[in-house]
Amino acid sequence: AQSVTQLGSHVSVSEGALVLLRCNYSSSVPPYLFWYVQYPNQGLQLLLKYTSAATLVKGINGFEAEFKKSETSFHLTKPSAHMSDAAEYFCAVSDTGNQFYFGTGTSLTVIP
Amino acid sequence: DAGVTQSPTHLIKTRGQQVTLRCSPKSGHDTVSWYQQALGQGPQFIFQYYEEEERQRGNFPDRFSGHQFPNYSSELNVNALLLGDSALYLCASSRQGLYEQYFGPGTRLTVT
């Protein structure tokens, strides 16, 4: 069985500060890992994905994530938060690329 | 290039009724997955269609059924609606063998 745990349902950062959103996964096989962003009343947009290539993955809008097998983690970071980053962020895991298992999400607030 | 499109945007139904939601995948994609996202939760996998057949199914009752057409578009049908079926229904498309899903804007279903 696969699952995703996102620590912190709400995260607040100041504009210009580091963004760190945490994701830990459980998978019996080497996983595929994803981060999605959801703006209010919209669908999910893919930020980045890990599919067993480089462990440090760069995505859109300056976000990146590092796959750490020993810690079963795939935390999302961005060096400097922007007001437009305020949204809901979801981590997801899949073993086959078919069924995705999503975390419960982290709401990011950026304080001006 | 149009992305994933869904219709309708919003829908209000009464308990016990039936509903059909529609999805057109991104150009070049042949696989469609459906997810249910309750308020404040992450998306939950309902099922996936490929080559007009249900390939994988999540933990949802038989009241939830679907169909995929030769042009790869898909429908989600829900019978005997319950209040708990109120949610955002998301369609995601992908290309077989590629491990990323692109999401539509969703259909907001309210059951009264």
A51-67 tens-digit pLDDT: 877 889 999 999 999 99
A&B contacts, CB < 8 Å:
61
**pLDDT band (50, 70, 90) for residue B2:** confident
Task: Enumerate helices (H) and strands (E) in chain B, giving the number of each.
Answer: 0, 11
Do B44 and A102 make contact, defined as CB atoms within 8 angstroms?
A: yes
The pair of three-digit structure tokens given for residue A79, joined into one six-digit string: 């060096």
User: A1, A94 in Cβ contact below 8 A?
Assistant: no
- Establish whether the linkage from the previous residue to A31 is cis, with ω within 30° of 0: no
Of the candidates A24, A6, A22, A25, the residue with the CA atom closest to the CA atom of residue A95 = A25
Decide: residue A100, CB within 10 A, 0-12 exposed, 13-18 middle, 19+ buried: buried
Question: pLDDT category, A42, cuts 50, 70, 90?
Answer: confident
Is the pLDDT score of A101 beyond 70? yes
Q: Does the beta carbon of B70 lie under 8 angstroms from any beta carbon of chain A?
A: no
Q: Which of residues 26-55 of B touch A (CB under 8 A)?
A: 31, 33, 35, 40-45, 48, 55
**Cβ contact B21:B85 at 8 Å:** no
DSSP B71: T
In three-state secondary structure terms, B22 is: strand
pLDDT band of B42, cuts 50, 70, 90: very high
- Do B101 and A46 make contact, defined as CB atoms within 8 angstroms? yes
Whether the Cβ atoms of residue B87 and residue B38 lie closer than 8 Å to each other: yes
Rounded to 5°, angle at Cα B94 from B91 and B99: 120
* Residue B27 pLDDT exceeds 90: yes
pLDDT band for position B1 (cuts 50, 70, 90): low
Asked if residues A63 and A75 have their Cβ atoms less than 8 Å apart, the reply is: no
Residue A27: is its pLDDT beyond 80?
Answer: no
Q: How far apart are CA A87 and CA A83, in angstroms?
A: 10
Higher pLDDT, B80 or A26: B80
Question: Is B52's pLDDT higher than 70?
Answer: yes
B68: pLDDT strictly greater than 90: yes
Task: Kindly tell me if the per-residue pLDDT of A109 is higher than 90.
Answer: yes
> Taking Cα atoms as reference points, which of B98, B107, B75 lies closest to residue B29?
B98
**pLDDT value of residue A41:** 79
Count of CB atoms within 10 A of residue B69's CB? 13
